[in-house]
Amino acid sequence: MRSECSAGRSLILLVLITLLCCEGFIYILYMPSMTSLLCNNEAPNQEQNKEQEPDEDQGTVILIWRWPFGHQMRASSCSKLYNITGCRLTDDRSEYEAADGVMFHHKDIYNNVTELLRMKRPPLQMWVWMNMESPGNSPRQARLDGMFNMTSSYRRDSDVWVPYGRIVQVSERDRSFQIPKKDKLVCWIVNNWNMRFRRVRYFYELRKHVSVHTYGGAFKKRLTLEEYYKILPSCKFYLSFENSVYKDYFTEKLFNPMKVGTVPVVLGSNRKNYEEFIPAHSFIHTDDFKSPRELAEHLKFLDQNQEAYEQYFTWRQHFTTKSSYFGLEHACRICDHIQRHKGYRVVNNLSTWFWT
């Protein structure tokens, strides 16, 4: 009797094992179809998301031939940063034939013009010459005449004007501006050093009459970006001395101190030109003084007269500064210009327009 029961249990166990194996086989056999079904259930949502994304084949295409100084930036910010829509920026040269405009940075092309002359240009494609250096720091190249359709630079008479910085209305958040705490009177951060520069000669005379805290490669005190933005606000005055003196040429040496709450002492173009860009009482111009010694005396006077010093910040109640995104802003505004101006023109006098 026990033998029959044992045999019965063995038979039942064998049947259960067989059923489990069959279920496993069926699961394995049909698993791909189940997975496919699951993916198909998700597919409608994926298609919906794709439809909500902008079509990369639409809009005005701007090819950035090479990012200026290799500072590559995300090329999808025109609408967010500048409220410029309908633009697609790319640095993929395989899209050259489809590009509506091509932006060339002068520093990257001036010594390789032959290559550009050999390139086949699609009909009506706009070539844009872009440069943010002054004529004194830009090698002249007459062969560029007649090659481009537009210009983009710091100069206001460019087709696409992009200054190093702008004065903009202050936001509600920034209306509570406070002058940072100061523990230095005059500061200067400089890397490019040349005794022929007017700013170097002026500095040598100025430091005879007032102490200047100096930093940068020229003084073997290079700063990290973090150190730079820590030191700059701690100075009452900053020597915003440009290395080249040209109309409209005002660089980050001017706008960065203004942004962080330091009074710029400027050496560059004339006061009238500066006042076309920034408030008249937001800076001190070296031309307003007969000598570096007289300027030094004025700085020391302001150091001892807080009320007079604070007058240089009254403009911050209503305005602040906004820096340009080098290369990216140019490309976005070039796109906007092409969208607004459908005509075709050629810049035949680039070498005389910019260098004379």
Q: Does the residue 96 lie in any domain?
A: yes
Residues 111 and 227 placed together within one structural domain of the fold: no
Residues 208 and 287 placed together within one structural domain of the fold: yes
* Phi, psi dihedrals of residue 184, rounded to the nearest 5°: -135, 145
Query: In sequence order, which ranges of the chain are alpha helices (DSSP H)?
Result: 2-52, 78-82, 106-109, 113-118, 198-206, 225-231, 252-260, 271-275, 292-304, 306-310, 328-340, 350-355
Residues 207 and 347 placed together within one structural domain of the fold: no
Name the nearest CA neighbour of 96 among 111, 113, 112, 116. 116
Q: Does the residue 13 lie in any domain?
A: no
For residue 2, the model assigns a pLDDT of 44
Token readout for 304 is 């001892």
Query: In angstroms, rounded to a whole number, what is the distance separating the alpha carbons of residues 52 and 236?
Result: 51
Residues 101 and 156 placed together within one structural domain of the fold: yes
Mean pLDDT of 237-243: 98
Q: Does the residue 3 lie in any domain?
A: no
Helices first, then strands: H and E counts in the chain:
12, 13
Model pTM score: 0.81
- Which percentage of the chain shows pLDDT scores above 90? 76
SS3 264: strand
Q: Could you list the active site residues?
A: 133
- Looking at residue 243, which CATH number applies to its domain? 3.40.50.11660
Q: Is 127 exposed, middle or buried (0-12, 13-18, 19+ CB in 10 A)?
A: buried
Domain count, the chain: 2
Domain that holds residue 103: 60-162+327-355
More confident call, 110 vs 18: 110
Residues 135 and 157 placed together within one structural domain of the fold: yes
Query: In angstroms, rounded to a whole number, what is the distance separating the alpha carbons of residues 9 and 12?
Result: 5
Question: Edge-to-edge strands of the sheet including 60-64?
Answer: 87-90, 60-64, 101-105, 126-131, 150-153, 160-161
Spell out the residues 6+ positions from residue 117 whose beta carbon is closer than 8 angstroms to its own: 143, 147
Residues 238 and 319 placed together within one structural domain of the fold: yes
Residues 338 and 256 placed together within one structural domain of the fold: no
Banded model confidence at residue 210, pLDDT cuts 50, 70, 90: very high
Residues 302 and 269 placed together within one structural domain of the fold: yes
